Structure 1
């Protein structure tokens, strides 16, 4: 009642007795509706997720990647189920028919996150981030083949810059390995074989990521899944497959457990693994938040430009070589993101003036980055 009286005090009556109109000022914008806070939160979540995974996977000869992914998925399911129980979020209940339709997408997701974990295990954060841009190229041309998409000249130019930044990054990495171990041929060969393994895993990750995004986009049309529906089914259906892979493909001997979790760093690693699971929840939430309060074009731009702070954070927090070629690769990658963002804005303007729908690439990027 007091709140109602307070609102009445702010009403302004305009006109005479016959035509009185009341005006109530709009409430102050909340943080939940702030595009700036949503974008900053999404960028922070991306950085935290990448750095935490790098810390766990490459810090102490870690080789239980499937176990890490299983823990992340379990934490994610528990978190969103708890939020649903408290009424904070809502998503559809589990149905076997929908699970069967969505299961192939979950398999593609497992392939994407596992190959990504292997790639970042062998590569530095800046190189991993730069090479991840190549996924955008595969998605764009996948849309051309399967969804009738198109690639503008400006977009094609940004793709060329992305390829160039990847080549420069690989060249910088190889030169750094040779200069660091040039006095020892065996150590140099080991370092180069590690990089080659990382590049192979990165290639497979780019292919599986593009397949996941394109497949999910097509499947969403059949299931009409929303943000948290996708998140729930993706994580829930992935858990049994990842657990089986961990039990049968990974070494669960006590000696290997001790090697993965040395007593001196055991507590820090466990905390980092739990934090990585919470980060996966955070990045899913901030993705949905960013799409809700900002346009899909803005969201695509953030995804493209977010590579710069992630790459720089890798230079700051990890022992990545800081050389002129490596910094140049990051700079070229950032410029490619700017050009790509400009191309998306231009494409969005053309689409809105001709058809009342967003571009196919924006929709695909939105679908892929939601998870």
Structure 2
């Protein structure tokens, strides 16, 4: 029934917002800026819960062949770069600005599709991508709390997101479901992040972390891992019940909700030009969704 689809979308939006807020709380408020451990913990719990849910028959997990896993390996490497750089950026940048930069990943996807697939861009598509790029480029110039490291990691994050989007839509191996893909992503993430924990200094820093034995810290880390897994399930459920265009709309609405509520949850300082960049970026994303819908109807 139609109301069940809307309930699925609303549930996705709720989990989306709470997940980002929880991650922001641990990374910025508690200042646990050790992404190899933070993301390693999340992906380890995610992989374990996927296996458990598969054994219980609550989700469908197929046997993954070696060839399929190897063909998905480039996407998994992009996923690791996405979550690592995303954690770095989110710890240093406010949520509205983070999503403004993340939106420009559509520009990366458009460039890759144009360069390697020769796809022609419609006029509305081109306008929206230009506005997304313009907002992202002007944001560092208008951010009163500009942080070079934060924006550098955000650039890596949005690049990985953009290329991953193209890989997922054009090079998806046959026989791999979305959950199978995510399981491979989780396993590679745990392996690489565990290896990188010592060379990056995250392991030594975490051992000296002041709030290591804090109940608030433990609760935040457990909540972030469980919410991340719930967001995965909600995403898969939403994708199975809606078209790609409608799925994009629900992600857009979820980001708008997070951007609107974040000033009431976290302290932030935003200038008028930065606010304009945020508004233009999300308006451009709405235009992009509209142009994609129109192209599908033709």
Q: So what's the TM-score if we normalise by structure 2?
A: 0.91
Counterpart-to-counterpart distance in 2, 1:30 and 1:88: 23
Counterpart-to-counterpart distance in 2, 1:84 and 1:197: 40
**Any unmatched runs of 5+ in structure 2?**
none
Q: Paired residue for 2:191?
A: 240
Between stretches 68-77 and 230-239, larger displacement belongs to 230-239
- CA gap of 1:262–1:242, structure 2 versus 1, over 3 A, is closer
Structure 1 contact 301–337 (Cα < 8 Å) conserved: no
1:150 has 2:120 as partner: yes
Q: Paired residue for 1:324?
A: 272
Counterpart-to-counterpart distance in 1, 2:128 and 2:171: 29
Counting only pairs closer than 5 Å after superposition, residues 72-151 of structure 1 correspond to structure 2 as 72-151=42-121
Q: Could you say what secondary structure the match of 2:267 adopts?
A: coil
Larger radius of gyration: 1
Cα distance, 1:262 vs structure 2: 4.9
Give the count of matched residue pairs. Answer: 298
Q: Deviations over 1:14-51 (max 9, x none)?
A: xxxxxxxxxxxxxxx387xx221122122222212221
Flag as ranges the 4+ runs of structure 1 deviating above 6 A.
none
Q: Paired residue for 2:235?
A: 287
1:276 has 2:246 as partner: no
1:224 has 2:175 as partner: yes
Counting only pairs closer than 5 Å after superposition, residues 1-371 of structure 1 correspond to structure 2 as 29=1, 34-173=4-143, 176-177=144-145, 192=146, 195-220=147-172, 222-253=173-204, 256-259=206-209, 261-263=211-213, 266-350=214-298
Structure 2 contact 40–193 (Cα < 8 Å) conserved: yes
Greater RCO (CA < 8 Å, at least 6 residues apart):
2
Q: Could you say what secondary structure the match of 1:121 adopts?
A: helix
Q: Could you say what secondary structure the match of 1:249 adopts?
A: coil
Q: Paired residue for 1:5?
A: none
Cα distance, 1:81 vs structure 2: 1.6
Over the aligned positions, Cα root-mean-square deviation in angstroms equals 2.2
- CA gap of 1:128–1:260, structure 2 versus 1, over 3 A, is farther
Q: So what's the TM-score if we normalise by structure 1?
A: 0.74
Q: Could you say what secondary structure the match of 1:259 adopts?
A: coil
Q: Could you say what secondary structure the match of 2:209 adopts?
A: helix
- CA gap of 1:341–1:102, structure 2 versus 1, over 3 A, is closer
Structure 1 contact 73–236 (Cα < 8 Å) conserved: yes
Q: Could you say what secondary structure the match of 1:252 adopts?
A: helix
Between stretches 100-109 and 134-143, larger displacement belongs to 100-109
Cα distance, 1:196 vs structure 2: 1.2
Structure 2 contact 107–133 (Cα < 8 Å) conserved: no
- CA gap of 1:103–1:202, structure 2 versus 1, over 3 A, is same
Cα distance, 1:211 vs structure 2: 2.4
Cα distance, 1:94 vs structure 2: 4.2
**Any unmatched runs of 5+ in structure 1?**
1-28, 178-191, 351-371
Structure 1 contact 305–334 (Cα < 8 Å) conserved: no
- CA gap of 1:251–1:135, structure 2 versus 1, over 3 A, is closer
Q: Deviations over 1:326-357 (max 9, x none)?
A: 4323322231122112111111101xxxxxxx
Counterpart-to-counterpart distance in 2, 1:83 and 1:262: 30
Counterpart-to-counterpart distance in 2, 1:238 and 1:273: 17
Q: Deviations over 1:241-263 (max 9, x none)?
A: 1111113322433x752325355
